[in-house]
Amino acid sequence: MKKTMLALLVSFLVIAVFGMTTVFAEGAKEDGSGQQYVIKMATPSNPEDSCVKAFFHFKELVEENSDGRIQVQVLHSGQLGGHRDYIEGLQMGSIQMAEINTSVLSAIDDQFMIFDLPYIAKSVEHEIRVIEGGVGERLSKALEDKTGIKIVGWMVRTPRSVYNSKRPIRTADDFNGIKIRVMESPVMMKTMELLGAKPVPLAATERYMALQTGVVDAAENSPPLIITEKEYEVTDYLSLTEHFVTPNIIAIDGKFLNKLPQDLQKVVLDAGKAAGKYAIQQDQDQLAGAIDTLKGLGMEVNAIPDKTSFINKVKPLYAEYQDRIGKDLIDVFVNSN
């Protein structure tokens, strides 16, 4: 009987202490004192990808500089879906951060279509200068005002080029009739139509299967991703058209960020900027090696020194979309170096 009473007393004390601990933790969440926070970061890419490496770099920086008060979980390889899914996840609070391509964000605000205009950026370096010159802040404010999602880092990939299973692309005429996977962007779709291709909008997570099964003949992306996504297995030709320079953003739920103590907000914001720069450097470092690797894997790679035929075909898009994107925003790119 005494043992039973003792066991019941111990159980009662454990429950009481646990309950008090839970109450304390909930209270700590309100004022930020002593609370440990968890950031779930979602990305559709594989661990070898520069953006995923940047996310792990972010994790390292945040956990170290917060003295362990923030724990970061990187959920890669499309475990939580694709870019569009992450927008909803951030707004619902099921994830706190994510990688999102700006083409997907164009459905929220037309200004993001600036990055979908072909040949609008003269180079990766040019695009970075424009973003850091004020365009990045302008777009982040537009996104936050409409969704509550804030941009804490920019991951500008190396230029996107075309790879396919039909033939090399050397002039605009070579696009004729090719079914090509594009992101779900009206500007990107119109670009491929002007070039003579047949655009098929698909999520990134569906791209490999579409190439493998012949739903599409081609895709377009930064060359290092052809390796990390193993799409050299289902294509034969890479043509360096370098038509888009589209960044991915490091996005955070603004409500989550604002609830963090001020010192931890700074840790997250600083790490976001650092992770963006890390991703850019990783992608550039991978580019030269990627071309050689793809050749070694059997892909035929051709450079295109003269891109005039492509540029002339797609140039009408600038005037067509200037009212939606903003002529002033287009002029920032066109009139800068």
Beta carbons of 287 and 51 less than 8 angstroms apart: no
Distance of CA 10 to the CA centre of its chain: 52
- What pTM value is reported for the model? 0.83
Nearest to 251 by CA among 102, 107, 97: 97
Per-position pLDDT tens, the chain of length 337: 433 334 433 343 333 333 433 333 322 344 445 789 999 999 999 999 999 999 999 999 999 999 999 999 999 999 999 999 999 999 999 999 999 999 999 999 999 999 999 999 999 999 999 999 999 999 999 999 999 999 999 999 999 999 999 999 999 999 999 999 998 889 999 999 999 999 999 988 899 999 999 999 999 999 999 998 999 999 999 999 999 999 999 999 999 999 999 999 999 999 999 999 999 999 999 887 999 999 999 999 999 999 999 999 999 999 999 999 999 999 999 999 8
CA angle 147, 148, 149 (to 5 degrees): 90
Q: Burial letters for 62-96: b for 16+ Cβ neighbours within 10 Å, e otherwise?
A: bbebbeebbebebebebebebbebbbebbeeeebb
Report the C-alpha dihedral over residues 17, 22, 23, 26, rounded to 10 degrees: 160
What digits encode the pLDDT tens for the residues 260-309? 999 999 999 999 999 999 999 999 998 879 999 999 999 999 999 999 99
The DSSP code sequence of 151-191 is: EEEEEEPPPEEEEESS----SGGGGTT-EEEE-S-HHHHHH
Residue 255 CB contacts under 8 Å (≥ 6 apart), including other chains: 93, 148
List, for residues 70-90, the tens digit of each pLDDT value: 999 999 999 999 999 999 999
261: how many CB neighbours lie within 10 A of its CB?
A: 15
Paired sense of beta strands 218-221 and 160-164, if any: antiparallel
Tokens of 34: 């002593």
Domains of the chain (ranges plus CATH)?
A: 36-157+247-286 (3.40.190.170), 160-245+289-334 (3.40.190.170)
Among 120, 39, 87, 182, smallest CA distance to 327 is for 120
| R_g of the chain, CA atoms, integer Å | 23
Rounded to whole angstroms, what are the CA distances from 28 to 96, 149, 263, 309? 19, 24, 16, 62
